[in-house]
Structure 1
């Protein structure tokens, strides 16, 4: 930091800090507004103008702070998964930390299934809306592919964690384990069970039972 001749600290760093704080506050307001609207009235029914109005900012500010509507949706999915006001990478989410700290493969799967029982009702409709929009919107298609591939990568990390317990079947490699979990924790799979009248608790119980029977060794 430079110091002027009168001995007072230069204001440049202070102004930079204030700008950064304001930008962070604006981004948080935009994300909260997008989450409220997407989860309240749906992705398709929400416009970027709606988000800007709810956040109290200009539309251009929404674009600058987060991005266009597909980027907003992806950020909101991450917020829902993080159970907070900011998107978080998978390794920083509370339920992921609980999975990793829990001993035993079946117990890990139970923690994950329980978390999905709370998360799927919120983020599954968002993912499905983004998938449907991807058919006609290149931006949504890019965001959707990113979510799909990231889920697959995260499930491979889960498979590695399960493998370390020594309880996975020897005839299933980690990629196969990851693909099975990836397919059955999807918004599509959840939606099919919900169509058949399953409630969220039943879905969570089914997932841990299915994964335990299919993936783990039996005595």
Structure 2
């Protein structure tokens, strides 16, 4: 069942990226994943569920926590900024297609707008411990705060 779920999510990602969210039908996802439409609904909850799953995948990737963990051990601000830049670039390369779908769809769909808001909050919150580490190292202006 997990292999079927992964095939469905992969198919949705491909089709959402190529065609857009609205032009992609559940039947198209099912055909590409070699599953029935009923299976797509049962496994994912349909298109909205698939996009939520893709959003979750991109915003909870283990790379984020690993990077934050590494930053907490670094004492060189330049090394921290290089690591953050490399991670952000990698994440954008890996998940940029998902974010483009969210950004293009959100103005027209309330549920997708909510998913985008969650993704944006998670993205911003990931920078708080990075800023805190830089603050702890004394390299940020004193008048800055983390709120």
Would you call these one fold, judging by a TM-score over 0.5?
Answer: yes
Residue 42 of structure 1 and its aligned partner are, at CA, apart by 4.2
Change (3 A) 1:43 1:73: farther
Residue aligning to 2:25? 47
Superposed CA RMSD: 2.7
Gaps of 5+ in 2: none
Residue 165 of structure 1 and its aligned partner are, at CA, apart by 3.3
Q: d(CA) in 2 for partners of 1:67 and 1:105?
A: 44
Residue aligning to 1:188? none
Runs of 4+ in 1 over 6 A off after TM superposition: none
Matches within 5 A, 1:177-196: none
Residue aligning to 1:29? 7
Verify: 1:89 aligned to 2:54, yes or no.
no
CA-to-aligned-CA distance 1:196-216 (integer Å, 9 cap, x gap): xxxxxxxxxxxxxxxxxxxxx
The higher radius of gyration belongs to 1
Q: d(CA) in 1 for partners of 2:27 and 2:139?
A: 51
CA-to-aligned-CA distance 1:72-120 (integer Å, 9 cap, x gap): 22432444x4xxxxxx725x22x54134314133312211212322332
Gaps of 5+ in 1: 1-21, 82-87, 176-219
Residue 128 of structure 1 and its aligned partner are, at CA, apart by 3.4
Q: d(CA) in 2 for partners of 1:101 and 1:168?
A: 19
Q: d(CA) in 1 for partners of 2:133 and 2:5?
A: 34
The answer to whether the Cα contact below 8 Å between 1:43 and 1:73 also exists between their aligned partners in 2 is no
Matches within 5 A, 1:111-126: 111-121=83-93, 123-126=95-98
Name the structure with the higher helix share: 2
Residue aligning to 2:121? 149
TM-score normalized with structure 1 length: 0.54
Q: d(CA) in 1 for partners of 2:135 and 2:26?
A: 44
Q: d(CA) in 1 for partners of 2:124 and 2:67?
A: 20
Residue aligning to 1:101? 70
Number of equivalent positions: 143
Residue aligning to 1:202? none
Residue 54 of structure 1 and its aligned partner are, at CA, apart by 1.4
